[in-house]
């Protein structure tokens, strides 16, 4: 079975990489590409925009006009756009692989509600290596957690609009839940001035933005006399794109429900 894939945000950094990843994946074919109506690239050839050469898929400005042309939508856009796309796909049973980060609690609830009627995979990070790090972070927290100060730091390119990254927040959630802590209560987002001594139960976050850094994440467990660090460095967006295409093919065999990359990789 070949999964018919639509990519929205087709002219974005991830959109272009996703179009290239679909073209080289077995078991999937690109059948639609979408951008926001204001884009100057509406009507352009999606393959040419992505840099892989002509593929005869014209970039559309309206998801509703291509709903019958795909099985799974891959959406790496922006929170409001993603919620609109979920609303368009859910009534007709189109499935979604969502990579967009920075969604509010309310937006996440809207996405989760739609998973009662269609299959949705949402992950803060689609790279296989990062998903392995989630597992390692959980393991390290269980072994070292109550004796270590845990800090998470991340670096991304200068264009990233949300902070900390969705992946850093997810790492924080993994660590907090392994230790029975509520991340909303124990998270410390940056420090300045007279902060006082560190409270052992807190989980600190630090953010760096600059240049073209694709995405670096480290979870540090610092205790008396030793320090453990779990680090991941992405060198190309292709790692996220390949994972998202793998998720789309996996999701195509599900009817409904909310999944993430841990499900796709069978890491639970």
Which residues are the active-site residues? 156, 160
Q: Contact with ligand NAD (CB under 6 A): which of 6, 9, 47, 163?
A: 9
Single residue of 7, 30, 123, 148 touching ligand NAD by CB under 6 A: 123
Q: Of 80, 85, 70, 122, which Cα lies nearest the Cα of 244?
A: 122
Distance of CA 85 to the CA centre of its chain: 16
**Separation of alpha carbons 264 and 258, rounded Å:** 11
Which phi and psi angles does 223 have, rounded to 5°? Answer: -130, -175
Q: How far is the CB of 17 from ligand NAD (least distance, A)?
A: 8
Min CB(60)–ligand NAD separation in Å: 9
219 binds ligand NAD (CB under 6 A): no
Does position 101 interact with ligand NAD (CB under 6 A)? The reply is yes
Least spacing, CB of residue 223 vs ligand NAD, in Å:
31
List all residues 6 or more positions away from 129 whose beta carbon is below 8 Å from its beta carbon. Answer: 232, 234, 239
Tokens 């807190």 locate to: 202
Max CA separation in the chain (angstroms):
61
Instruction: Please state the closest distance from residue 138 (CB atom) to ligand NAD, in A.
Output: 19
- Per CB under 6 A, 76 contacts ligand NAD: yes
Instruction: Report if residue 111 touches ligand NAD, rule: CB under 6 A.
Output: no
User: SS3 helix, strand, coil % of the chain, rounded to 5?
Assistant: 40, 25, 35
Task: Decide: is 102 part of the binding site for ligand NAD (CB under 6 A).
Answer: yes
Task: Enumerate residues 17-46 that contact ligand NAD by CB under 6 A.
Answer: 34-36, 39
For ligand NAD, the closer of residues 145 and 166 by Cβ is 166
- Residue 257 burial (C-beta neighbours within 10 Å; 0-12, 13-18, 19+): middle
Which residue ranges make up the site for ligand NAD (CB under 6 A)?
8-9, 11-15, 34-36, 39, 76-78, 81, 99-102, 123-126, 240
């Amino acid at each position: 079975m070949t999964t018919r894939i639509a990519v929205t945000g087709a002219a974005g950094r991830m959109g272009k990489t996703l179009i290239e990843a679909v073209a080289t994946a077995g078991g999937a074919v690109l059948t639609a590409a979408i951008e926001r109506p204001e884009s100057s690239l509406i009507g352009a050839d999606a393959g040419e925009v992505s840099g892989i050469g002509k593929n005869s898929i014209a970039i559309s400005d309206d998801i509703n006009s291509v709903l019958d042309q795909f099985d799974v939508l891959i959406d790496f856009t922006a929170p409001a756009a993603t919620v609109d796309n979920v609303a368009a796909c859910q009534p007709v049973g189109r499935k979604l692989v969502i990579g967009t980060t920075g969604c509010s609690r309310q937006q996440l609830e809207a996405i989760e509600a739609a998973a009662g009627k269609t299959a949705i995979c949402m992950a803060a990070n689609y790279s296989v290596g990062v998903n392995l790090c989630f597992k390692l972070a959980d393991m390290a927290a269980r072994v070292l957690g109550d004796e270590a100060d845990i800090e998470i730091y991340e670096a991304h390119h200068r264009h990233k609009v949300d902070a900390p990254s969705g992946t850093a927040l997810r790492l924080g959630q993994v660590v907090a839940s392994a230790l029975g802590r509520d991340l909303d209560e124990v998270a410390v987002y940056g420090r300045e001035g007279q902060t006082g001594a560190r409270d052992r139960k807190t989980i600190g976050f630090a953010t760096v933005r600059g240049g073209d850094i694709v995405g670096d994440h480290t979870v540090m467990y610092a205790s008396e006399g030793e320090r453990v660090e779990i680090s991941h460095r992405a060198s190309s967006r292709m790692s996220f794109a390949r994972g998202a295409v793998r998720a789309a093919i996996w999701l195509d065999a599900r009817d409904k429900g909310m999944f993430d990359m841990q499900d796709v990789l069978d890491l639970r």
